[in-house]
Structure 1
């Protein structure tokens, strides 16, 4: 059964509750911090900073923590979306954010698919720079949602 906008109406109370939506935003930001902070740490290593840290060990810790952060951000973002989907689907910043999330996922899959963390070559550095740019744009679009 495919959910419809009407099926999300039971969560609409979140928007009007004085603490629920702000609490979700805090959880969302904490997830983003875990995600983005660990990606930056790993990307710095790909760029040659912190060469004393073994890439495989750093990748295992940083990327797992990034995935936990992504899961937290996605779950809290999903609940925020479900609380007012019609408004968000009409918001250009939200739509841009979703498109950028897809692009970030494709870039990450391409990086790991080609073994970028083993190669640490120019392409890997370009992909991590693209990752950083995409995630910064995602964060910017996320903030603009409230203003567009």
Structure 2
């Protein structure tokens, strides 16, 4: 693992990320934007699945919000990788960072599983369970990410 971390740390992009205050700030802003898009969209959809706004059809809301969530996740992952490159050895040793990555994988897998089943017509209890689970996972990701600034 150490050779990989050292190789990542020595890339041109990693060096630029470490040495350019403004690029780092811009990438960090892009990361926050991606997170906002992801959590805003998936949180709203999860709240609908839990039972809020019953007059709004879930399928219609999902048609609008899922692409926003996917765009947010993509942006957050791309910018997150760039932020990681600024200090890969530091991040790799932080258990909180590893927990965050596992939660992102679990949240993404949960969403892919749910959307691949097209089960918006399922029982209300099942949809609520899916919404609560998703909301807990993504809020935990958000919490872990925020706490990284204070850990280590």
Structure 2 segments unaligned to the other structure (5+ residues) = none
1:44 equivalent to 2:41? Answer no
1:54 alignment counterpart: 57
Q: Is residue 93 of structure 2 the alignment partner of residue 90 of structure 1?
A: yes
TM norm structure 1: 0.88
How many residue pairs get aligned? The number is: 146
Give the 4+ runs in structure 1 shifted more than 4 A: none
Bigger shift: 92-101 or 117-126?
A: 117-126
User: What residue ranges of structure 1 are gaps of 5+ in the alignment?
Assistant: none
Of stretches 131-140 and 45-54 in structure 1, the one that deviates more from structure 2 is: 45-54
Specify the alignment match of 2:141 in structure 1.
138
RMSD of aligned alpha carbons: 1.8
Q: Work out whether residues 50 and 129 of structure 2, in 8 Å CA contact, stay in contact via their aligned partners in 1.
A: no
- Secondary structure of the residue aligned to 1:49 is coil
| Deviation digits for residues 7-57 of structure 1 (CA, Å, limit 9, x no counterpart) | 322213313322222221111011011111111211222222222222222
TM-score normalised to structure 2 length? 0.86
Match of 2:81 among 69, 72, 78: 78
Q: Tell me if the contact between 2:51 and 2:128 (Cα under 8 Å) persists in the aligned partners.
A: no
Alpha-carbon distance between aligned partners in 2 of 1:70 and 1:36, rounded to the nearest angstrom = 9
Retained in 2: the 8 A contact 1:100–1:137? yes
Partner of 1:118: 121
